[in-house]
A and B are shown apart, each in its own frame.
Chain A
C-alpha cells in the first residue's frame, strides 16, 4: 500500500511538470538547453534485427526505429543496479508521462525497451509491463521486445555496442548481468542522433533532443 501511494503521488508530481519546466537536481545541476538551439550530428544508422514483441509476435527492430523519433534502451528486468535499468525505466516512464500531456510527443515519439535477457524476459513477462503502461495512461507508443535466443540477440547488441557480461555470482544483489547503460535517440529515418548513459540520461536533455529533432524536421519540410 505504501509503495502504491508513493507511486500515485509521484505520478501526479511528474505529470504536473510541463516538460520544458522540469527542475534541475543535484545530479543534473544545470539549465537544460533550449530545443533547436543546437544540432545533433548523425552518429550512425540504427541496426536492424529480429525480435519478439510483448505480444509474442515477430517484429523487426527496424520497424521500431523508423517512422517516429525513437528513444531506444537495452534493459533486463532482473537488474537492480541503481544507475542502470531501474534508472532508465524511470526516465522512460517520465518521458511517457510527459508525452501524455503533449500531443506532438504522443504522435511523434516512441519508446522502445529491448531486453537482453530472453530466457527470463519472455514476451509474456514483458507483456506485464506493456499492459501496465497502457492501463496507466495514454501517452506515446512504448514497445517492449526481446529476442528468441541469444544467437539472434548477439548481433544486435554488437551493432549497438551494448556490452553485457555474466556476473560470476548469479545471485549478485545488483542482478546476474553486468552491462553498460545505453539509451539511443533515433530519428524518424533510423539514424542514431545521440547516445546516453547514466551520466547523461537527463529527462530534460532527452526531451530537448527529441524536440530539437522535431524542429529540424519542420525546418527541412519548409525547404
Chain B
C-alpha cells in the first residue's frame, strides 16, 4: 500500500469530529494493518522534517559573502524572484545585509519554515531571519553571537539542519586548536542553546566502533528517520578554511588536516555507533528518499570519488567507493551534490573545472555519468526543485579558496532540466550587481506565509 492509497482511505472513512471512537479505531487500523508510506522529503536536499515545497518555488534565497570594496562589503541575504512569468523573473528583488563579513556559508530553515538561519564560518555568528511574514522580503530577527562560549568551544557553524522544534548545527572546528575536531550543536527554534555532541576521537570514541580511525572532524549531518540514523561527514578546521587556497595546498602539514571519516550515529540518543574510513574529505550527505532505499551518497573533495553508505544484507551499515568523479588528473574538487527525488539522478559540481556532472544512480552501487556541462569558471552549490525540472547553481566555495582574477566568476544561474540536458533560464552576475560571492541557495514561497496553504502535510 502506498501513501496515496492511505490518504484516500483516511479521508473517506473517518473524521475526528464526528465519531471519536471510530477515529481512534481508524487510526489504530492504519498503524497496525498498513505499511504507512510516509512522504518524508523536501526539495531533494533538505531535512525530512521540513515543510516541503512540492510545486514551483517562487524565490531563491542566496546567502552571499560580502567582498571588501564591492557594494557595502557585507554578507547579505539576497532574494531572487523565480516565478515563471513574473516581470521580475530572474532578478534580485530584495537584499538584506548583516553586520560585517562572517565567511557566510550554509543556511537552513526551521522545521516550520518560518525562520531562516544563516551561519558564518569565521565569526561563528548565526543570523536569524523571518521568512514567514513576507517571504519576498526576509526580515532580520536576531543574531546568535555567543556561539563559542555557549557551546563549550565549538566554532565554525556550518549550516542549520531542522529537527522537530530545534536546529542541529554541524560545526567545522573548535576554539582550542582550530583544527577540524568539532561538534554537533543543538539550539531550540527560539535560538536558545540545548546541547553539544563532540565527534568521536581516538581518545574519546564515546562508544563508537572502529575508534582507531576516529578523527573527530565534522562537516554535514543528515538524518534518515525511518532507520533512526544520523550520518555525519568531515572536512577541515578554521586553520585551513580561513587560509588562502594556494598557501594551504603548498603546506604538507596543512594538507594532513582534512577529515578521513564518516560517522553513523543513533539519532535519538545522539550516540556515535560506527566510524567509516572515507579518505579525502567526504562532504555533503544525501540520503535517498525511497521507502526502502537505505543508503546515502557523498563525494570526497580531495579524493574526487563518489561514496555510498548503505545497509548491507546483514543489516550493518557499510561505506564503499562507487565511482570516480571525472578522469581529470588530481581531481576536480567535487563539492555540492544533489540527489533527485526519485533517487535516480545525482548532480555533482566540480569546483576546479566549473562543470556539473550528472550521474545515473538508479543502481546506487554502480553510478554512471550520463551528462556534463560547464556552468562557470568555478561552481560550488547545486539546488534542484522537488519535481526535478529546475536546477540552480552558485559559484563561491570559500572567500580564500575562490579562484582569482577573471576566473573568479560569481553568479546565480538557473537552468531547466529535461532529464537529458541543462538549458539556461537566467543568469545573475553577483559581482556586477555588487552583491558578493554567491553561496548557499534555499527556496521560498508565498504559499508558506500566513493564511496560505503549503503542499506538505
The answer to whether A and B come from one shared complex is yes
B-binding residues in A (CB < 8 A)? 3-4, 6-7, 10-11, 13-14, 25-30, 32-33, 37-38, 41-44, 76-87, 89-90, 93-94, 120, 125, 128-129, 132, 161, 163, 165-169, 172-174, 178, 180, 182, 184, 195-200, 205, 208
CA A129 to CA B16, docked complex, whole Å: 10
A163-B112, A166-B451, A178-B453 as given contacts; A197 in contact with B164, CB under 8 Å: yes
User: B10 at interface (Cβ–Cβ under 8 A)?
Assistant: yes
**Would A3 and B22 count as touching, CB distance under 8 A?**
yes
- Pick out which of these stretches binds chain A: B189-197, B362-370, B376-384: B189-197
CB-CB nearest in chain B for A203: B31
**Would A33 and B268 count as touching, CB distance under 8 A?**
yes
User: B291 at interface (Cβ–Cβ under 8 A)?
Assistant: yes
Residues of chain B within 8 A (CB-CB) of A42 are 194
Residues of chain B within 8 A (CB-CB) of A10 are 25, 28-29, 32
- Cβ < 8 Å to A, chain B residues 421-457: 450-454, 457
Q: When each residue 228-245 of chain B gets 1 if its CB lies under 8 Å from chain A and 0 otherwise, what string results?
A: 110000000000000000
| Interface size counted on chain B using CB atoms at 8 A | 61
CA A174 to CA B12, docked complex, whole Å: 10
**Would A79 and B36 count as touching, CB distance under 8 A?**
no
CB-CB nearest in chain A for B25: A7
Residues of chain B within 8 A (CB-CB) of A85 are 16
**Would B111 and A197 count as touching, CB distance under 8 A?**
yes
CA A163 to CA B451, docked complex, whole Å: 11
**Would B271 and A86 count as touching, CB distance under 8 A?**
no
CA A180 to CA B114, docked complex, whole Å: 11
A sample of 11 more A-B contacts (CB under 8 A), given A86-B26, A178-B453, A205-B268, is: A10-B29, A26-B226, A28-B228, A78-B16, A81-B457, A82-B36, A85-B16, A89-B27, A93-B27, A161-B190, A174-B457
Q: Which 5 A-B pairs have the closest CB atoms?
A: A195-B165, A7-B25, A90-B27, A38-B269, A197-B164
User: B188 at interface (Cβ–Cβ under 8 A)?
Assistant: yes
Residues of chain B within 8 A (CB-CB) of A26 are 35-37, 226, 291
**What's the minimum C-beta distance from A16 to chain B, rounded to whole angstroms?**
12
Q: Which one, A3, A90, A197, contacts B31 given CB within 8 A?
A: A90
CB-CB nearest in chain B for A200: B164
**What's the minimum C-beta distance from A29 to chain B, rounded to whole angstroms?**
5
Task: Please name 7 pairs of A and B residues whose Cβ atoms are closer than 8 Å in the assembled complex, sorted by A.
Answer: A13-B32, A32-B268, A43-B165, A44-B190, A80-B11, A90-B30, A205-B268
- Cβ < 8 Å to A, chain B residues 251-286: 266, 268-271
**Would B51 and A180 count as touching, CB distance under 8 A?**
yes
CB-CB nearest in chain B for A130: B20
CA A37 to CA B270, docked complex, whole Å: 11
User: B227 at interface (Cβ–Cβ under 8 A)?
Assistant: yes
User: B48 at interface (Cβ–Cβ under 8 A)?
Assistant: yes
**Would A29 and B226 count as touching, CB distance under 8 A?**
yes
CB-CB nearest in chain A for B32: A10
CA A171 to CA B226, docked complex, whole Å: 32
CA A79 to CA B36, docked complex, whole Å: 18
User: B15 at interface (Cβ–Cβ under 8 A)?
Assistant: yes
CB-CB nearest in chain A for B19: A3
**Would B269 and A3 count as touching, CB distance under 8 A?**
no
**Would A78 and B17 count as touching, CB distance under 8 A?**
yes
**Would B268 and A38 count as touching, CB distance under 8 A?**
yes
**Would A89 and B23 count as touching, CB distance under 8 A?**
yes
**What's the minimum C-beta distance from B87 to chain A, rounded to whole angstroms?**
24
**What's the minimum C-beta distance from A207 to chain B, rounded to whole angstroms?**
12
**What's the minimum C-beta distance from B367 to chain A, rounded to whole angstroms?**
25
Residues of chain A within 8 A (CB-CB) of B22 are 3, 7
**What's the minimum C-beta distance from A163 to chain B, rounded to whole angstroms?**
4
**Would A86 and B29 count as touching, CB distance under 8 A?**
no
User: B38 at interface (Cβ–Cβ under 8 A)?
Assistant: yes
Q: Which of B31, B192, B270 has the most CB of A within 10 A?
A: B31
**Would A132 and B20 count as touching, CB distance under 8 A?**
yes
User: B413 at interface (Cβ–Cβ under 8 A)?
Assistant: no
**Would B226 and A128 count as touching, CB distance under 8 A?**
no
Q: Which one, B17, B31, B48, B114, contacts A199 given CB within 8 A?
A: B48
**Would A44 and B453 count as touching, CB distance under 8 A?**
no
User: B125 at interface (Cβ–Cβ under 8 A)?
Assistant: no
A77-B17, A93-B27 as given contacts; A84 in contact with B457, CB under 8 Å: yes
**Would B27 and A182 count as touching, CB distance under 8 A?**
no
Residues of chain B within 8 A (CB-CB) of A13 are 32
User: B225 at interface (Cβ–Cβ under 8 A)?
Assistant: yes
**Would A43 and B194 count as touching, CB distance under 8 A?**
yes
**Would B194 and A161 count as touching, CB distance under 8 A?**
no
CA A139 to CA B392, docked complex, whole Å: 54
Residues of chain A within 8 A (CB-CB) of B25 are 3-4, 6-7, 10
**Would A44 and B17 count as touching, CB distance under 8 A?**
no
**What's the minimum C-beta distance from A155 to chain B, rounded to whole angstroms?**
14
User: B322 at interface (Cβ–Cβ under 8 A)?
Assistant: no
CB-CB nearest in chain A for B114: A163
A4-B21, A197-B49 as given contacts; A86 in contact with B16, CB under 8 Å: yes
User: B14 at interface (Cβ–Cβ under 8 A)?
Assistant: yes
Residues of chain A within 8 A (CB-CB) of B270 are 38
CA A181 to CA B278, docked complex, whole Å: 37
Residues of chain B within 8 A (CB-CB) of A27 are 36, 38, 226
Q: Which of A7, A29, A32, A93 has the most CB of B within 10 A?
A: A29
A82-B30, A180-B112, A195-B165 as given contacts; A168 in contact with B452, CB under 8 Å: yes
